Amino acid sequence: MKVKAKAKNNITSVRVLAKHPMETGRRIDKESGEKIPAKYIQELTCEHEGNVVFVAQLGTSVSKNPYLAFSFEGGKKGDALQLRWNDNTGDVAKVEAKIK
């Protein structure tokens, strides 16, 4: 996950680019002829100072390497944000990013 976060006038805006194939489960592997199993992020959250400030529930219609932009009230330069996603196969990714 790559995160860019900026705070201005007590509002923090965040952009996230998660690295994930977001396989729909409908694509056919050219070599094997088999369907590639579905693998996609189901939930992505952002926490700031113990508060969950963003919850996204995603499905297979979200693009590969999901991009999300959101903002929340609060936050200042130097604060830490915790981002986390989990997918349908149980994989999890976590990243901590500083607000600039």
CB distance 88 to 42 below 8 Å = yes
Q: Which amino acid is at 76?
A: K
Name which position in 1, 6, 17, 79 contacts other proteins (CB under 8 A).
17
Name which position in 1, 36, 70, 79 contacts other proteins (CB under 8 A).
70
Q: Buried b vs exposed e over 82-96: b needs ≥16 C-beta within 10 Å?
A: ebebebbeeeeeeee
Q: Does 54 bind other proteins (CB under 8 A)?
A: yes
Q: Does 2 bind other proteins (CB under 8 A)?
A: yes
Residues engaged in binding other proteins (CB under 8 A): 2, 4, 11, 15, 17, 19, 24, 26, 42-43, 45, 47, 51-74, 84, 86
